[in-house]
Structure 1
Amino acid sequence: MLDAKSGNIVVPGEGRLAHAPADHPPVRKAKIGVLLANLGTPDNYDYWSMRRYLNEFLSDKRVIDYASWKWQPLLQLIILTKRPFSSGANYKLIWNHDLNESPLMTITKAQTAKIAQGLAERHGADVMVDFCMRYGNPSTDSKVRAMVEAGCEKILFFPLYPHYAGATSATANDQFFRAMMKEKRQPAVRTVPEYFEHPLYIEALAQSVEQAYAGLEVKPDVLVASYHGMPKRYLMSGDPYHCHCAKTSRLLRERLGWEKGAIDTTFQSVFGPEEWLKPYTVEHVAELAKQGKKNIAVIAPAFSADCIETLEEINGEIREAFEHAGGETFTYIPCLNDNDAHITALLAVIEENLAGWVG
C-alpha cells in the first residue's frame, strides 16, 4: 500500500518497503514530531547533581561568553566548589518531594501532556509530542533520537521562551541542531520563533492577573513584571530581548485597560560584576516600599513555567527585600504553567508553525 505521508510503498503490518529485500530495515509510517524545550533542571539537589547541572549551564558560551582560559578556572576551582551547596539548598525548598523532581519538571510534563492531547484531537496519531531540556535530563540528543527512531520525518522544535534571547532561545536551538548533526537521515526541521506579542499569550497573561487580583482584599499599588536579566552588553550587541520584554509589558497593560505607569518592567537574577539590564527587581521593589507603595504584585512573563527563579528568588529573596524595606502585601502571580489559557496559546503557536505540514 502507498503511505500518503511518505510516498513509500509499505507492506501492511510489516513496516517494510514492498520492493525491498527481506533484510531491509523496517520503514516506519512517517510522523511529525513536536519537541518542546525548556531550560533544564538538576536530577536532584545534592552536591554532585547540582555541580553537574551548574557546570553544563555555566559552561555554555551563550550564557557566559568570557574567554575559556579566563572563565573556566574560576568556574571549576571556585564557583563549582561553593555554589552547588547554596543552589542545592534553594532547590530543596521548592522540590517536589512526592515525585522527587523539580517543579519545572513537573510542570513541563503537565504542559506536554495537555499539548499532546490537544494535537491528538486535531491530528490523531500522526503528530508525536515530547519535551527535552537544554541542560540536564531528558537531553535534547535523547529526544531527537527517539523521535527519529519513532519515524518522525519532520520535527518542529519549540523553545518555551516567549521572548528571544541568545542565552535561552538561541542556545536551545544550537543544541537541537547539534543533535541533528548526529542523525544519518535528518528529518526536515523548523524552529518556533519568539511569541512575546502573540494575542493569545497576552490574553493568558491578562487573565492570570485578573484572576489573581480578584482574590485579593487589598488591590496592589503597582504590578511589577520581572523578567530574567542579562548583561547590558548583550543588548548593545544586538540581542532584542530587552525590547521584547518592554513590548510584552505594554501589551499586557493595554489589554488590562490600565494607565501608563501601572506596570513596572524590571529584571532579576543578576550574576557577576558587570552591569545587567536595569532596573534590578530586588532593588526596585525595595524602592517602591520606601516610596510608600506598600502593596505590590509581581508577575514573571518570561518564564513559561514556575522554577527556581520564580518560586525561590521572586517569592523568597525579592519578597524579603520588599518586606524588609517596609512593604506590607506582596503577591506573587504564578507563571502560566499548564493553565488552559496558556495551553490554548501554545497550541495556537504550534499550529501556526505546522502550517503546510498538517491538514
Structure 2
Amino acid sequence: MSSSLSKNPQFAAPQKIGVLLLNLGTPDGTDYWNVRRYLGEFLSDPRVIESPKWLWWPILNFGILSFRPQKAGHAYEQVWDKEFNESPLRVITRKQTQALAQRLEGDGIVVDFAMRYGNPSTKSVLEKMQAAGCKKVLLVPLYPQYSATTTATANDKAFDALKEMRWQPAVRTLPAYYSDAKYIETLGNSIRDGVAALDFEPDLVLTSYHGLPQTYVDAGDPYEYHCHETTRMVSDYLGWPEGKLMVTFQSRFGPTKWLEPATADTLEELPKRGVKKVAILAPAFSADCIETLEEISIGGKEAFMEAGGEQFAYIPCLNDSPAGMDMIEAMVRRELGGWL
C-alpha cells in the first residue's frame, strides 16, 4: 500500500501555498434576477441580519426581494464596467489579485480571489487551490476594520468549505489592519495626494465608513472603535488639526438605529453650517464599488450640491494602485512568515 500511495500524484506533488483574497460580493448582472439572487444570499446571512429567521425570512422573500432588486439594479447600472461587463468590485479585485500574483511570482504561491456572496464562490476557489496542490492557505479578508458582518462572515464561508474537504490545508487568516502602520501611511498619503490634486481646498474631509446597526456594536462588535481609530491615526499621521477629518457612516438600511452621524444626513446639513467645500473617501472599502461610486460619488454629490454645497470631490479607494498593492503585499508576506 505504501508504494502505491507514494506514486499517487496528489501526495507526491510539490506543496504550494495559496493566498486567497476575500471580498464582499457582487451580482453577475444588473437585471432583476441576478440582483435578486445576490441580495437573497447577502441578506440571508445571519451575520448580516441578526433577526430570528422565522421573522426575517417572510419579510425578505415576500417584501424586500420583491422591489429592492429593481432599485439596486438601477444603481449598479450607473457604475457597471461596460468593458468587462462586470461590477467595479469584481474588476478591481481581479486586478488586485493579478498584481499580487506578479509580486509573489517565483515563491510557489497561488494567488486567487473569491466573493462571500456571488461569484467566484469561496468554495469553488478553495477547491481549485486544493487541486493545484495548495497544502497551506492564507485567507485575506480585504476589510481594514473588523466586523462580524464582514471579516467574520468571509472567514465563516471559507471554514464551511473546509469542513467538506477530506484533506484540509493548513489555514491562516489575515487579521483586521485598521491600525497597521503601513495601512495608515498608505491611506494617509492617498488622502493628502487626493486633496492636493483638487482645484479647491476642502473645508472638511469626510471619512465615510459603511454603517452598522447600533445593537451589533452594543453586543461587542469592535467595528465602530476601529473606524474612529483609523481616522484618528490618519489625522495624526497627516498632522492635520482636530476636526479636519470627520467620521460618518453610510448605507443605512431598515428602521433600526444605525451608527451615527449618517453620511447622507451630514452632507445635507454641512452647507447650512457654512461648510461648502468637502472631499470624501471610504476607508472601509479596499476597492471601489456600488457603495462608493454610486452612493457617495454620485448620490452624495447630488445631495450635497442640492443642499447648497459648492465643491465636492470623491477620493478613490486604494484599489490596485502601486501604493495600495505595496501595502497588501507587505501584509501578506508578514502573515506568510515561516511558510515561505
The residue that corresponds to 1:233 in the other structure is 215
Distance 2:207 2:58 in 1: 36
Contact preservation (8 Å) 2:10, 2:133: no
Distance 1:302 1:260 in 2: 21
Secondary structure, in 3 states, of the residue corresponding to 1:20? helix
2:78 corresponds, among 72, 75, 93, to 93
Matched, 1:52 2:37: yes
With normalisation by structure 1, the TM-score equals 0.92
The residue that corresponds to 2:248 in the other structure is 266
Matched, 1:323 2:293: no
1:71 corresponds, among 56, 63, 87, to 56
The residue that corresponds to 1:11 in the other structure is none
The residue that corresponds to 2:122 in the other structure is 140
Distance 1:182 1:100 in 2: 33
Matched, 1:167 2:149: yes
Distance 2:186 2:199 in 1: 23
Distance 1:95 1:83 in 2: 18
Matched, 1:20 2:4: yes
Matched, 1:149 2:134: no
Which range moved further: 272-281 or 21-30?
21-30
Which range moved further: 279-288 or 303-312?
279-288
Matched, 1:108 2:93: yes
Matched, 1:217 2:199: yes
The residue that corresponds to 1:14 in the other structure is none
Distance 1:86 1:61 in 2: 23
Secondary structure, in 3 states, of the residue corresponding to 1:223? strand
Contact preservation (8 Å) 2:18, 2:137: yes
What does the per-residue CA deviation read over 1:198-217, in whole Å, with 9 as the maximum and x for residues that have no partner? 11111111121122222222
- CA shift in 2, pair 1:316/1:119, >3 Å: same
1:252 corresponds, among 234, 237, 241, to 234
One-letter amino acid matched to 1:107: I
Secondary structure, in 3 states, of the residue corresponding to 2:3? coil
Secondary structure, in 3 states, of the residue corresponding to 2:249? strand
Contact preservation (8 Å) 2:203, 2:275: yes
Distance 2:255 2:303 in 1: 20
1:32 corresponds, among 8, 12, 17, to 17
Structure 1 gaps of 5+ residues are 1-16
Contact preservation (8 Å) 1:213, 1:219: yes
Secondary structure, in 3 states, of the residue corresponding to 2:253? coil
Matched, 1:284 2:269: no
One-letter amino acid matched to 1:337: N
One-letter amino acid matched to 2:59: L
One-letter amino acid matched to 1:103: P
- Identical positions, percent: 50
Contact preservation (8 Å) 1:91, 1:308: yes
The residue that corresponds to 1:8 in the other structure is none
Contact preservation (8 Å) 1:283, 1:321: no
Structure whose alpha-carbon radius of gyration is higher: 1
Contact preservation (8 Å) 1:35, 1:130: yes
2:295 corresponds, among 286, 301, 313, to 313
With normalisation by structure 2, the TM-score equals 0.97
**1:140 Cα offset (Å):** 0.2
CA RMSD of aligned residues (A): 1.4
**1:23 Cα offset (Å):** 7.4
**1:63 Cα offset (Å):** 0.4
Distance 1:101 1:248 in 2: 31
The residue that corresponds to 1:177 in the other structure is 159
Structure 2 gaps of 5+ residues are none
Contact preservation (8 Å) 1:297, 1:331: yes
2:69 corresponds, among 56, 60, 84, to 84
The residue that corresponds to 1:9 in the other structure is none
Matches within 5 A, 1:2-21: 19-20=3-4
